[in-house]
C-alpha cells in the first residue's frame, strides 16, 4: 500500500485498548448467544455450549476487514469484495459499518442482502457448529459484493468479524448422540480447515 493511502486511515488513539475492549465485550455477547442457542436446542444443560468456550481469549479471533474505495474502470468481470464461504468455527459476530454489500444464501439457495442495521450485530453459524448440531443449525454461506452505484464506489467499507471457536482440547461430537459426523478435536478440525485453505 502506498503511503498516501496509509495517510487516509483514521487515527485511533490507544488502538490496542480499543481492540481489547471490543474483544472482551464481544466475548460476553458470544457467551450470551451460545447460552440462548443452548436453550433453543433444548440441551439438558443450556450452558453446555458456552462452557465449551471458556478459553475464548485463546481461541477467539478478531479480524478487521477494510475494503478500499473503488475505481469503476479498474473493476474486473465477476469481481467481488469477499468470495462465497462459510466460517469454520462455532459462531461469528460481524460488525458492519453503514455500507451494504453483504449477502447470505438462504434455505432456498437464493442470495439475499443482509444490509447493516444500525445498532445490531450479525451472527453467522460456523461449520463446526453445524457439525456439532448434526445439521440442525446450518452454517450460512455468505459473501460481500461490490457496490452498485458510482457514489457507493467512492466510499470504503469496514467490517470487523469476531470468530468464536470451542476450546482447543474439546472433542466435538454430535449433540443429539447420533454418529452423523465422527467426533473430532476442536483444534484438529480448525487446523484441518486452515491446511485445506492455505
Ligand X SMILES: O=C(O)CCC(=O)C(=O)O
Question: Least separation, in Å, of the C-beta of 157 and Fe ion?
Answer: 14
Question: Least separation, in Å, of the C-beta of 75 and ligand X?
Answer: 18
Per CB under 5 A, does 127 bind Fe ion?
A: no
The smaller minimum CB distance to ligand X, of residues 87 and 127, is found at: 87
Q: Under 8 Å CB-to-CB from 133, ≥6 apart: which residues?
A: 41, 174, 175, 176
The smaller minimum CB distance to ligand X, of residues 51 and 143, is found at: 143
Q: Which helix (H) or strand (E) holds 37?
A: helix 15-40
| Whether the Cβ atoms of residue 87 and residue 102 lie closer than 8 Å to each other | no
**Centroid of chain to Cα 105:** 14
Quick one: CA dihedral 185, 187, 188, 194, positive or negative? positive
Task: List residues near ligand X by CB under 6 A.
Answer: 63, 65, 82, 87, 94, 96, 102, 142, 144, 159, 161
Per CB under 5 A, does 87 bind Fe ion?
A: yes
**Centroid of chain to Cα 108:** 22
Report the partner that residue 159 touches, choosing among ligand X, Fe ion, none (CB closer than 5 to 8 A by kind).
ligand X
Report the partner that residue 8 touches, choosing among ligand X, Fe ion, none (CB closer than 5 to 8 A by kind).
none
Amino acid at each position: 500500500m502506498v503511503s498516501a493511502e496509509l495517510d487516509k486511515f483514521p487515527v485511533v488513539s490507544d488502538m490496542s485498548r480499543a481492540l481489547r475492549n471490543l474483544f472482551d465485550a464481544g466475548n460476553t455477547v458470544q457467551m450470551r448467544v451460545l447460552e440462548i442457542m443452548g436453550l433453543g436446542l433444548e440441551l439438558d444443560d443450556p450452558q453446555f455450549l458456552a462452557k465449551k468456550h471458556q478459553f475464548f481469549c485463546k481461541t477467539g479471533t478478531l479480524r478487521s476487514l477494510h475494503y478500499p474505495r473503488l475505481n469503476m474502470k479498474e473493476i474486473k468481470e465477476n469481481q467481488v469484495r469477499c468470495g462465497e464461504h462459510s466460517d469454520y468455527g462455532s459462531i461469528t459476530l460481524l460488525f458492519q459499518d453503514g455500507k451494504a454489500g453483504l449477502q447470505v444464501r438462504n434455505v432456498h439457495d437464493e442470495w439475499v442482502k443482509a444490509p447493516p442495521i444500525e445498532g445490531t450485530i450479525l451472527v453467522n453459524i460456523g461449520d463446526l457448529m453445524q457439525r456439532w448440531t448434526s445439521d440442525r443449525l446450518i452454517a450460512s454461506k455468505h459473501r460481500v459484493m461490490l457496490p452498485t452505484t458510482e457514489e457507493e464506489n467512492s466510499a470504503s467499507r469496514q467490517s470487523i468479524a469476531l470468530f468464536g471457536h470451542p476450546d482447543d482440547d474439546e472433542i466435538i461430537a454430535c449433540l443429539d448422540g447420533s454418529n452423523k459426523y465422527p467426533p473430532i478435536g476442536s483444534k484438529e478440525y480448525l487446523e484441518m480447515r486452515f491446511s485445506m485453505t492455505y
